Structure 1
Amino acid sequence: MLAATKRIGFGAAVMALAVGLAGCSGSPETNDGATKGAPGAPKAPGAAENAPHLIGDGSTAFTGAQPHLPKPEQLKPGQKPPQFVVFSWDGAGEDSQKLFSHFRGVAKKYNAKMTYFLSGVYLLPEEKADLYDPPQHGRGTSDIGFNDAEGIKDTLRELRGAWHDGNEIGTHFNGHFCGNEGGVGTWSVDEWKSEINQAKSFVKNWKTNAGLKDEAPLPFDYDKEMIGARTPCLEGQKNMMQAAKTMGFRYDSSGIGDQVWPKKTDGLWDIPLQLVPVPGRDFETLSMDYNFMFNQSGTVNGDPSQHAYWGNQMRDGLLEAFDRAYNGNRAPLIIGNHFESWNGGTYMTAVEDTIKTVCVQKDVRCVTFRQLADWLDAQDPQALDKFRGLGVGKAPKGGWTALAAAPASKSPSPAARPAGHSEEH
């Protein structure tokens, strides 16, 4: 697992800086995440009729409808919307830190569903690196490296289990290239199409690429499962969305926004990370572990005496953001994370504490981006327009019934950005 640990750890070192934004629960199952007789699990003799329908080389399979998915229902006029919270993970690989498996267990304990944005190269072994032909970079290069057989098997186990738990497998694409020298923000629409196709290919062909013929397939058709993304460093969103809207995507979470209701851009739900409070400071930062880290220590190995304080600051900032939505406009709260132990793992503790606190509250639904998009699509567009007219933390005057009866209003203007604001992760 050493190679996998270095791989994911190095990914943190090459992330773009957020200049200007100053500032274990019980272990989960360790098998393939599928119970006996479940889709994708080993079948007993005579159970061939229940075998999954293999796709391609058998790396993926159609196993029927995903379990544990809620059925979206349209709100009645004047009904208060639920408070949605989306916890999402960029990169989504299992390495020696075992954070993927840990948070799968946390999610199950607190009835939360999450979105895992998989980096395709996490299923590509180092010796097959030349199969990756990244835009504007040499064949076989990646700013987050590749994987080894053990890391691939561990990641596959968690992906299977995550899907069976009702979670979503999106994409974080492949090589995580950032900046002006060939970074994703400089890519054309056609280059993005190549990157997306390659991300799909590495998931659909890991058995051939890694030689892991005896491993169980992933229990989904990735052409249908992969409907959303977050770009590396939050760069290149415009051209990526132009490519993605022709390739089966339904949403993107690469933007930067406020805690207001999302809208569609070019036919895709644009569901950005959000500016949230930094308790004790006079600015807000993005709702992501990396941004809190950068604005606190500026390094992944800051002063150990400050670790607990920094983690508590992130937790309290996320809870303040939750409270102002929950008691205000009920805009979905979007939280992004990485499976990393920065500053002694304090941000992982902050995220876990947030899950424990918010996902058990009345009318709160901790969901995936897919589930949120399903719910948004089921609503009356005019009702959503009215929701978008509510500013950050602002409950409707006269209540939700009065809002339903009022004429639609324009969406609020975005809040002013901190000076020098730039994108991250």
Structure 2
Amino acid sequence: MIGDGSTADTGKQPNQPDKPIPLEPGETPPQFVIFSWDGAGEVGNGLFPRFLELARNHGAGMTFFLSGLYLLPESKKRLYQPPNNPVGASDIGYLSDAHLKETLKYTRQAWSEGHEIGTHFNGHFCGGSGSVANWTPAQWNSEIDQAVSFVTEWRTNTGWTDEEPLPFDYHRELVGGRTPCLLGQDNLLPAAKERGWRYDASSPGGRQMWPEKRHGVWDLPLQGIPFPGHSFDVLSMDYNILANQSKNTTKGMPSRYPAWRAQATASYLAGFKRAYETNRAPFYIGNHFEEWNGGIYMDAVEEALKGMAGKQDVRLVSFRQFVDWLDVQDPRVLDRLRSLEVGQAPPGGWNAFFKASGTAGVKGPSGAPS
């Protein structure tokens, strides 16, 4: 047990992929796909267990960005002191006790099945003077400290003594997050670096290219992907597809649901295909446990994952597992990969591409060929 018993050190996380190794000379890079979930609370719609089962059936790792407030009972909301907002305020609702217990249950299960537990912070403030867009690095540190405390002290805050602890040390587990509404990354990154975080997934408007670090932290942005029927790309998240379909409502015309569902599925698969058949850039998909427009985006995500799983070289992993792989690659190899534009295949194939740069036989950080 750690602290008040809300969390516990149960040893090495189960169900992890093999230890990552550097690319061999001229080797085709894997196609990484990372499915992630903002908020990651179970609110009685069965979506958390649905996607745990989907991941289990297809050998997928995922990242669940847990909102700290989802483990704080509303009766204790005054424990939350959000920067630039009233005490206890939140732009997302507090969970009922029953849903808080379900969130604990599925968070335990997620980690035990090999998934990553990151953070979506707390109050989800996107507008007005209290928006996370305006927070300073010090305020981000306060927000993170509070998110960690709500996860690591839920037993004290709820008074529940018959619930099992979360089976991980959150201080070690937490190595990255995604900000509300993809806002505020510039001031978050100094705080993230100070805390030893390994990545941040908050940047909006990324492109399907190999990533780089900002402030010493891997910057893993949601990406623009093809949007069938349109000449522009759409951001690789359920909400952004919705915003281009039913505009400002989550309850659009039911008669349009089948076409929108098909369009969302095709968009995810087009983004995957564009990377898989060309530069092999990692593909990030952001989601919420939601039932917008009749749940069509949840269906689209499921169908897209099924369409990607099992293909040669495809690895469905968490953000943490992906940066584990990045961190053992030779920096010169990653630089070479970053030279490929969106949808650009390596000229002459992967072996020739690496040979042309003189990186086909370089030694990786572990001494193995990369």
Give a deviation string over 1:79-137, Cα, whole Å, max 9, x none: 00110000000000011111011100011011111000000000000100000000001
- Residue in 1 that maps onto 2:213: 264
Tell me if structure 2 keeps the 8 A contact 1:87–1:335. Answer: yes
Q: Which amino acid in 2 is paired with 1:166?
A: G
- Residue in 1 that maps onto 2:95: 147
Per the TM alignment, residue 147 of structure 1 is displaced from its structure 2 partner at its CA by: 1.9
The separation in 2 between residues aligned to 1:68 and 1:380, in whole angstroms, is 26
- Residue in 2 that maps onto 1:389: 339
Per the TM alignment, residue 188 of structure 1 is displaced from its structure 2 partner at its CA by: 0.5
- Residue in 2 that maps onto 1:246: 194
- Residue in 1 that maps onto 2:308: 358
RMSD: 1.0
DSSP 3-state at the match of 1:356:
helix
DSSP 3-state at the match of 2:306:
helix
Tell me if structure 2 keeps the 8 A contact 1:180–1:186. Answer: no
Residue of structure 2 aligned with 1:68, choices 15, 22, 27: 15
Q: Which structure 1 residue ranges, 5 or more long, are not aligned?
A: 1-53, 410-425
Give a deviation string over 1:249-299, Cα, whole Å, max 9, x none: 100011131000011111100000000011011111100000000110111
Count of residues in correspondence between the two structures: 356
- Residue in 1 that maps onto 2:236: 287
Give a deviation string over 1:33-57, Cα, whole Å, max 9, x none: xxxxxxxxxxxxxxxxxxxxx0000
- Residue in 2 that maps onto 1:42: none
Give a deviation string over 1:134-174, Cα, whole Å, max 9, x none: 00011111110212221111000000000011000000000
Correspondence list, 1:157-236, <5 A: 157-236=105-184
Q: Tell me, yes or no, if structure 1 residue 399 matches structure 2 residue 349.
A: yes
Q: Which structure 2 residue ranges, 5 or more long, are not aligned?
A: 360-370
- Residue in 2 that maps onto 1:49: none
Tell me if structure 2 keeps the 8 A contact 1:385–1:408. Answer: no
The separation in 1 between residues aligned to 2:100 and 2:44, in whole angstroms, is 12
Per the TM alignment, residue 211 of structure 1 is displaced from its structure 2 partner at its CA by: 1.2
Moved more, 395-404 or 197-206: 395-404
Q: Which amino acid in 2 is paired with 1:177?
A: F
TM-score (norm 2): 0.95
The separation in 2 between residues aligned to 1:75 and 1:303, in whole angstroms, is 49
Q: Tell me, yes or no, if structure 1 residue 321 matches structure 2 residue 265.
A: no
Tell me if structure 1 keeps the 8 A contact 2:43–2:95. Answer: no
Per the TM alignment, residue 248 of structure 1 is displaced from its structure 2 partner at its CA by: 2.5
Q: Which amino acid in 1 is paired with 2:266?
A: D
The separation in 2 between residues aligned to 1:101 and 1:248, in whole angstroms, is 31
The separation in 2 between residues aligned to 1:394 and 1:147, in whole angstroms, is 45
Correspondence list, 1:41-190, <5 A: 54-70=1-17, 71-190=19-138
Q: Which amino acid in 2 is paired with 1:151?
A: H
Tell me if structure 2 keeps the 8 A contact 1:224–1:248. Answer: no
The separation in 1 between residues aligned to 2:5 and 2:351, in whole angstroms, is 52
Tell me if structure 2 keeps the 8 A contact 1:386–1:408. Answer: no
The separation in 1 between residues aligned to 2:218 and 2:283, in whole angstroms, is 15
Q: Tell me, yes or no, if structure 1 residue 312 matches structure 2 residue 262.
A: yes
- Runs of 4 or more above 4 Å deviation: none
TM-score (norm 1): 0.83
Tell me if structure 2 keeps the 8 A contact 1:62–1:221. Answer: yes
The separation in 2 between residues aligned to 1:170 and 1:359, in whole angstroms, is 23
Tell me if structure 2 keeps the 8 A contact 1:250–1:268. Answer: yes
DSSP 3-state at the match of 2:110:
helix
Per the TM alignment, residue 395 of structure 1 is displaced from its structure 2 partner at its CA by: 1.1
